[in-house]
């Protein structure tokens, strides 16, 4: 048994540190890919602290990871009511739309996020969306954002991005030539 789990299991429910230790234990499970077990323990956390910011965010991520559409709707509303920054709401929605391959909403979320200064974690999700969806619209915006922020992708990322842009260029050439 790991230290995080020992601390959680050794803490009585009525202890004021119970929710904190349970949250850390659930986060530990998620980071180790034990999503189902984390979701099981999350029910206890949600009963103890349903409106806590970390609980809402953790519930949102677990709902996305387990394809729980009802949970996503519930935690999206809870997150919205907690009045976070718009950027955070769009990032969570992007993660959800990416998990269900909703191309149009991914584009919309990426467009909004790339118009703002964002955290690297958010940028990683946008890059993942761009490369996994082979999306031209996101690619163009990502290139502009990276240039503006004086950032670059790895060689592999750059090659994939160029491939997306080149495919679109070739398709446009063929359309103009044959059209």
Residue 177 has pLDDT above 90, yes or no: no
- 177 found inside a domain: yes
Check residue 69 and give its pLDDT: 94
Residues 92 and 176 in one domain: yes
What does each C-alpha distance from 121 to 68, 111, 161 come to in angstroms? Answer: 23, 16, 19
Distance CA 117, CA 123 (A): 10
- 164 found inside a domain: yes
From 34, 69, 104, give the residue that closes a domain: 69
Q: Considering its fold, how many domains does the chain have in total? A: 2
- 79 found inside a domain: no
Q: Helix axis angle, 86-99 relative to 103-114, nearest 10°?
A: 150
CB 154 within 8 A of CB 138: no
**Domain with 159 in it:** 85-179
Residues 57 and 115 in one domain: no
CB under 8 Å, gap of 24 or more: what pairs does 16-21 form? 18/48, 19/45, 19/48, 19/49, 19/52
pLDDT tens by residue, 6-31: 888 888 888 899 999 999 999 999 99
Q: In this structure, what DSSP letter does residue 82 have? A: T
Residues 115 and 167 in one domain: yes
pTM of the model: 0.85
Q: Tell me the residue ranges of DSSP E strands in 23-169.
A: none
pLDDT tens by residue, 88-121: 999 999 999 999 999 999 999 999 999 999 999 9
């Amino acid at each position: 048994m790991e230290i995080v789990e020992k601390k959680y299991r050794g803490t009585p429910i009525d202890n004021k540190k119970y929710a904190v230790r349970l949250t850390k234990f659930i986060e530990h499970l998620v980071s180790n890919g034990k999503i189902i077990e984390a979701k099981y323990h999350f029910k206890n956390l949600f009963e103890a602290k349903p409106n806590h910011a970390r609980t809402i965010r953790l519930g949102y991520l677990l709902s996305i990871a387990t394809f729980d559409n009802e949970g996503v709707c519930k935690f999206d509303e809870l997150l919205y009511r907690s009045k976070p920054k718009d950027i955070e709401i769009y990032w969570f929605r992007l993660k959800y739309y990416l998990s269900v391959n909703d191309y149009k909403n991914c584009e919309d979320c990426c467009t909004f996020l790339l118009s703002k200064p964002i955290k690297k974690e958010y940028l990683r999700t946008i890059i993942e969306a761009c490369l996994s969806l082979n999306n031209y619209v996101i690619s163009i915006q990502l290139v502009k954002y990276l240039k503006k922020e004086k950032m670059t992708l790895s060689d592999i990322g750059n090659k994939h991005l160029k491939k997306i842009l080149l495919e679109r260029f070739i398709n446009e050439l063929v359309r103009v030539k044959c059209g």
